[in-house]
Amino acid sequence: MSSFAVAPDHPCLPGHFPGRPVVPGVLVLEHVLEAIEAEHGPLPDGLALPQVKFLQPLLPGEPAEVTLDGAAPRWRFRVLRTGDGALLASGEIAL
């Protein structure tokens, strides 16, 4: 399990969305990839995302956790909000 939070002053937040910032999905996926690399080493270029669902927004400063299942060539992931365990995103990443 890998925990993270996106700082409220992250440069991507002012434009996503003005007045009510939410963490962009691509930034959530970046943390998923970091969690995979922390457990399994560097990943090659050319990854596929056969399935990704964003179910609830992640807010700036809100802590979240990435859980992984599987191994190369395919990992399943879940991103949960720390505290209440709400499912924020899930999917698969494949080589």
Q: Which residues are catalytic?
A: 16
Q: Are 23 and 6 in contact (CB under 8 A)?
A: yes
What does each C-alpha distance from 25 to 22, 52, 59, 71, 90 come to in angstroms? 9, 10, 11, 23, 11
What does each C-alpha distance from 83 to 36, 42, 60, 62 come to in angstroms? 22, 30, 15, 10
